Amino acid sequence: MLIINVKDSESIDRALKRYKNKHRSTKLMRELRKRKHFTKPSVERRAEVLKAKYINEKYNID
């Protein structure tokens, strides 16, 4: 559970913005979407290898 302490002089908009940033930084939604469907470990590993290959090709342009 995320807790945001709202200061007396702080506006609701600013507190909401801090809440959204904290929520985004915890990566809660990404974890929930990941747990929604089971993926086999071999499929996860294959996706990880393909992502690493893509990044390697993207930044090692000669």
40 lies in some domain? yes
36 lies in some domain? yes
pLDDT at 61 over 90: no
pLDDT in tens, 8-46: 899 999 999 999 999 888 888 888 888 999 999 999 999
Range of the structural domain that residue 52 is part of: 12-59
How would you class 19 by CB atoms within 10 Å of its CB: exposed for 0-12, middle for 13-18, buried for 19 or more? middle
pLDDT at 62 over 80: no
Count of the separate structural domains present in the chain = 1
7 lies in some domain? no
Cα 34 off chain centre by = 11
